[in-house]
Amino acid sequence: MSGYCAVKLAGVELRSACDDCKGRPRNGQLRFRRRDPVYLEGTQADAVFAVVEGYLRETRTTPEGRDQAVRLVCPGGLAGFESLRGGMFETSAQAITDAWVCRIPRAEALRGLEQRAGQFQAVISNLVDELSHVRETVLWLGTMKAEDRIIALLEQLAQRGGSLRFRLPMTRLELADFLGLSHSTVSRTLHQLRREGRIRLEGRWIELPRALTEPEESLLQSKE
Amino acid sequence: MSGYCAVKLAGVELRSACDDCKGRPRNGQLRFRRRDPVYLEGTQADAVFAVVEGYLRETRTTPEGRDQAVRLVCPGGLAGFESLRGGMFETSAQAITDAWVCRIPRAEALRGLEQRAGQFQAVISNLVDELSHVRETVLWLGTMKAEDRIIALLEQLAQRGGSLRFRLPMTRLELADFLGLSHSTVSRTLHQLRREGRIRLEGRWIELPRALTEPEESLLQSKE
DNA sequence: CGCTTATTTGATCTTGATCAATGGTAGTGG
DNA sequence: CCACTACCATTGATCAAGATCAAATAAGCG
C-alpha cells in the first residue's frame, strides 16, 4: 500500500496502486530527467503515463533519422493512450524538462475504468482534448508559414503555462521538431519577431505582449 | 421504434434509437451526397456520427480561407468525438463521396457508454486509432516531401480500402488539402510517379505495385 | 578552465506555391 | 444529339520561403 499514483484529470481524481512506484518519493511518482525516455515506439504498450510536473514530448523518428515531435504533453496530460487499446506504442516519449510522472499499468487503468464511470468520462475527455490538440498541429503544419507556426506554439505554451512571460522548456532544435522547421529558421524568426518588437526575447526567456495572445481562441483571425 | 442506428465498431455493435433517423431508409441511416456538410465547426457538438459507407473529411478553414483537411473518416469510422466531451465541434465534416451515416445523439451515446462496458472499449479503441492516424498526418506534414506524402496517402487509402487498385475518392484539390500541398503539385507529382512507372494512373483510378506497400506494414501492426 | 552543446548568422540552392493558360469531362436543357 | 456550362486536370513559367551547409560565438557544466 505504500505506493500509489493519484492524478487529477478533468476534475476527477485518478488513483491507482502502482507496483513500479513502490517506495519511491512523491507518492509513487516516477522521476525523469531531461532527455530520459519514458517509453519507446514499437514496444509493448503496457502502461499509461500521467504527467504531474514537467513536459514530455511524443516523437516519431523518420527512416532518415529526423525527429518529428507529434505532441507536447503538458503537466496534467496523459500519454501512452495506446495502452488502453492494446498493441504497441506508436510514438516514443521522452522528458524535455525534468519531470514527475505517474505510471499506471494497463491492467490497473482498465480496472479503474470499469469500476468508475467518472474515470471513463475523464479519460475520454482527455483523449478528445489530445485529439484536438494534434489536429491543431496539423493545421499549423499544413497551412501556416514559419512565423505563424512559431507564434502559435508560443501562444500555446503561454496559455498552458498561464503566463505571458515564461521560460521556453526546450532548445531551438526541439522547437523546430514540433514545428516542422529547421533550427536555423526558428532562431532567425524569433529574432525577427524581437527586432519588430512583437515579442521580448532573451535566451530562453520569452515575453509575449497581450496583443499576441488576446485575440486568441476566439477564432484565430483578426491577427491585428 | 421504427428508426435505429446499428454500426459495428471494433467488433462491438453500437446500437441506438435515433430520432432523426425515423422513417428513413436503411434502418435510420442518413444519406449524404458529395459535398454535403455533416456538421460545422463552432456549432454545438450534439451527436457522434458513424460512417457506414463512403468517406467524410474533417476540415478546418484558416482565416485566409484555405482548407486544411485534418482527417479522413473511412467506412466504419466515427466522427464528432467532441460530442462525448461536450462543447463545440472543432472541425467541420463533409461528405467527399456519397455516404451513409448513422447519427447518434449525444445523450444516446453517453447512455450506451454507461450501460455497456464493451461499447466503452470500442469507443476508446476507435479514439486511439484516430489519434494515431492524425499523428501519422503530422509526420507527413512535418517531415516529408511532396512525393513521399502522396505515396503515404495512397498507401493509406489502399490499405483502408483493402486493394492495391482503387478509385480515388476525391479530386486533386481535396488530396492537396489533406497533404498541405497545392493541387498543381499533386497533379504534377502523380504524373511524375506514373512516368517513372512507380504507379499506374488513369484519371481517378490508381494501381500501386506491391513494392510500394510491402516494406512497411510490419511497423504498423499488421492490420489484416 | 576546457569541452560539449546551443545559438546566431550568412550564403546558396531546392522545393513547391502561385499565376495563368489550355484541354477534358460530366451534367443539363433545348 | 449537341451546345453550354461548370468543374476538374494538366502543364508551363516565375518566385519566395525555408532547408541546407558552414562558420563563428555563447552558454552550461563537470
Determine the average pLDDT of the residues in B130-143: 94
- The pLDDT assigned to A6 comes to 56
Which chain B residues are closer than 8 Å to A85 by Cβ?
124-125, 128-129
For chain A, what's the residue count? 224
Which of B135, B140, B219 has the most A C-beta neighbours within 10 Å, making it the best mutation to test the interface with A? B135
- pLDDT greater than 70 at residue B30: yes
Closest Cβ–Cβ partner in A124, A139, A223 for B84 = A124
Contact B143 A180 (CB under 8 A): yes
- The pLDDT assigned to A65 comes to 79
Closest Cβ–Cβ partner in A60, A179, A222 for B139 = A60
Distance A171 CA to D26 C1' (A): 14
Give chain B residues 192-221 with Cβ within 7 A of strand D. Answer: 201, 203-204
Q: What architecture is the A145-219 domain classified under in CATH? A: Orthogonal Bundle (1.10)
- The pLDDT assigned to B122 comes to 84
Give chain B residues 134-193 with Cβ within 7 A of strand D. Answer: 171-173, 183-184, 187-188, 190-191
Whether nucleic acid strand D comes within 7 Å of the CB of A142, the answer is: no
Closest Cβ–Cβ partner in A85, A113, A137 for B138 = A137
- The pLDDT assigned to B216 comes to 40
pLDDT in tens, A3-26: 455 555 545 555 554 444 444 445
Lowest mean per-residue pLDDT among A17-31, A165-179, A199-213, B67-81: A17-31
Give the Cα separation of B198 and B207 in Å (integer): 9
Q: What percentage of chain A carries pLDDT values higher than 70? A: 81
Give the Cα separation of B187 and B204 in Å (integer): 11
Give the Cα separation of B210 and B165 in Å (integer): 11
Which of A83, A125, A143, A148 has the most B C-beta neighbours within 10 Å, making it the best mutation to test the interface with B? A143
B1: pLDDT confidence band, cut at 50, 70 and 90? Answer: very low
CATH match of A4-134 with 1.10.4160.10: no
Which chain A residues are closer than 8 Å to B144 by Cβ?
62
Q: Which fold has domain B4-138?
A: Jelly Rolls (2.60.120)
Lowest mean per-residue pLDDT among A8-22, A99-113, B61-75, B157-171: A8-22
Determine the average pLDDT of the residues in B196-203: 93
Determine the average pLDDT of the residues in B34-40: 94
- pLDDT greater than 60 at residue B219: no
- pLDDT greater than 90 at residue B89: yes
Which chain A residues are closer than 8 Å to B180 by Cβ?
141-143
Break chain B into its structural domains and give their ranges. Answer: 4-138, 144-220
Determine the average pLDDT of the residues in A155-175: 92
Give the Cα separation of B22 and B202 in Å (integer): 41
- The pLDDT assigned to A57 comes to 95
Identify the CA nearest to B105 among candidates B24, B28, B12: B28
Whether nucleic acid strand D comes within 7 Å of the CB of A68, the answer is: no
Q: Are A130 and A71 in contact (CB under 8 A)?
A: yes
Kindly identify which residue of chain B lies nearest to residue A86, measuring between CA atoms: B125
How high does pLDDT run on average in chain B? Answer: 84
Distance A106 CA to C30 C1' (A): 69
CATH of domain B144-220: 1.10.10.10
Same fold, A4-134 and A145-219: no
Give the Cα separation of A172 and A184 in Å (integer): 8
Whether nucleic acid strand C comes within 7 Å of the CB of B22, the answer is: no
How high does pLDDT run on average in chain A? Answer: 84
pLDDT in tens, A64-74: 878 899 999 98
